[in-house]
Amino acid sequence: MNARSTALNILCQQEESGHPLDMLMEKQIRKENPADIRDTNLTMALVYGVLRQRRYLDDVIASFAKHPLRKMKTRTLQALRIGVYQLLCMERIPASAAINETVQALKKAKQPKWLINFINGVLRNVARKPEQLLKAKKGLPPAVRESHPDWLYERWGRRYGNKTALEICRTNNSLPVLTLRLNRKKISPDDYLERLAGAGIQAKQSDIIAEALHLVGYRGAIPALPGYNRGFFHVQDEAAQLIASLFQPFKPGGRYLDSCAGLGGKTIQLAELLPKESTLTAVEPNKTRLRHLQENLTRMNFAADVSIFQGSIESFQQKRGGLFTHILVDAPCSGLGVIRRHPDIRWNRRSEDLFSFQKKQLALLQTAVAMLAPGGILVYATCSMEPEENDEVIRHFLKNQPEMSVERPAIPPGANGFLDEQNFLRTLPAPFHDGFFAAKLRKA
């Protein structure tokens, strides 16, 4: 396996198809089936690194290539990005290896000799001026320097101020800390911290959530962590772990519905917290996500506690029906709060997309509220910070549903600073969590 070649294929597929990066990555790496985990790690580092620094890389390439970037073929531009990223952002890779291996990836793809010579020449010219280029980077406009679209940087600047907008961009370009959610039914935080220390893995307990552990600097495989196959934990962002707590206090005999289960992070958490004589149903239309959901529930030993429905929430309502005391609408959204984990999002979104998501989110809420029992709780959540998907959705929804009202949630004391004057939960991207929004709504 040539890590550069694999990275090149993934980046080309992502740009041409617009499909989610994690799915493309998983499929391509499985196809290549690398014998050495180091090849997989390098592939991932190149793909994620190029996407995080793409705009800055393009600025550098444009200053060295006579051919306009907009006229370059996808594979040509992606190869240049991979090469320049190694030269300017990966100190451990010698310039000679960065250039030669990138050229070999092009040869493997059977690119014409003149094109290979062109890319080789550009990369060699960049390699001669790394210090000057990095020094000049400081003088670039913030959105270029931090590799974000202008519309996004300007939007955050208007709402939060330029200083905070810059901090968000820099956080988005950093490597995310791996955060685990411990299964209290299997192991305590103290016991698991001791196991990690015994395995030489550095970790710290969250200041907000007792069951959340941050594995600072860990770059190994998730299944290699102690207790993975025994269901000691699942991977979940710190802010995402707060969402299920909005259902507190949990009462026996409730009927819980996770209407957009996805991979099952919040489903697993709800299953763990499920009171006696209560039921939990998870709805997921996507076959791939559904498969992962089932695998995760089985590994965590919660498969028997969750009823799964494959299909949309609309089809679930028609075929299953019934009323639920608690409904989670973890709505599909722009994902602009989790760019650090999904760097392709910043290049795939446009401002007008927010209104398209808003329509879908309102439709989901309308379907969900029809299945909510009187006195029931509906929690609405997104991994977005944008008002169109959050405040405005709730405002439109409440206008058409006078029987619904916002209620102040009982969340862990350390997270009370995330509640605003409207009783909405909000987080911005930070070292230990992503950008989320959630609202607790009660039906009269």
Asked if residue 354 lies in contact with residue 413, where contact means CB atoms within 8 angstroms, the answer is no
For residue 235, name the pLDDT band (cuts at 50, 70, 90): very high
CATH number, domain of 314, equals 3.40.50.150
CB 182 within 8 A of CB 213: yes
Tell me if the pTM is above 0.85. Answer: yes
- Give the number of domains in the chain: 4
Tell me the CATH number at 104: 1.10.940.10
Q: What is the CA radius of gyration of the chain?
A: 23
Cβ neighbour number for residue 434 with a 10 Å cutoff: 25
Q: Does residue 350 surpass a pLDDT of 90?
A: yes
Nearest to 331 by CA among 403, 388, 409, 404: 388
Instruction: Provide the CATH number for the domain around residue 211.
Output: 3.30.70.1170
**Of 21 and 382, the one with more pLDDT:** 382
Q: What is the mean pLDDT of the segment spanning 1-11?
A: 87
**50 lies in the same domain as 14:** yes
Q: Indicate whether 196 and 266 sit together in one domain.
A: no
DSSP notation for 111-137: --HHHHHHHHHHHHHHHT-HHHHHHHH
- Does one domain contain both 273 and 209? no
Q: Which pLDDT tens digit goes with each residue over 201-218?
A: 999 999 999 999 999 889
Q: What is the pLDDT of residue 105?
A: 87
Tens of pLDDT, residue by residue over 84-99, are: 999 999 989 999 999 9
Residue pLDDT, tens place only, 390-408: 999 999 999 999 999 999 9
Mark whether 43 and 136 lie in a shared domain: yes
- Give the pLDDT mean for 158-179: 96
Residue 270 and residue 299 in one domain: yes
| Of 308, 296, 307, residue with least CA distance to 268 | 296
In this structure, are 16 and 161 located in the same domain? no
Same domain, 272 and 402: yes
Q: Which tokens hold the place of 433? A: 């969590």
Strand, coil or helix: what is 157?
A: helix
82 and 29 fall within a common domain: yes
Per-position b or e across 180-199, b if 16+ CB within 10 A of its CB: bbbbeebbebeebbeebeee
Residue 1: which pLDDT band, with cuts at 50, 70 and 90?
low
Q: Tell me the pLDDT tens digit for each residue of 398-437.
A: 999 999 999 999 999 999 999 999 999 999 999 999 999 9
Same domain for 202 and 120: no
Mean pLDDT throughout 349-374?
A: 97
Mean pLDDT of the chain: 94
**Mean pLDDT across the stretch 219-228?**
92
Pair 328, 412 in one domain = yes
Which residue in 387, 372, 375 sits closest to 435, CA to CA?
A: 387
- Catalytic residue positions? 383
pLDDT band at 2 (very low <50, low <70, confident <90, very high): confident
Domain carrying residue 166: 146-173
| Final residue before a domain boundary, out of 93, 123, 140 | 140
Q: Mean of the pLDDT values across residues 194-201?
A: 95
Question: Quick one: tokens of 207?
Answer: 């200041």
Domain check: are 416 and 269 in the same one?
A: yes
* DSSP result, 326-369: EEEEE-----TT-TTT-TTHHHH--TTHHHHHHHHHHHHHHHHH
Q: Alpha helix locations (H) across 90-225?
A: 95-108, 113-127, 130-137, 142-145, 150-160, 162-172, 189-198
Same domain, 56 and 113: yes
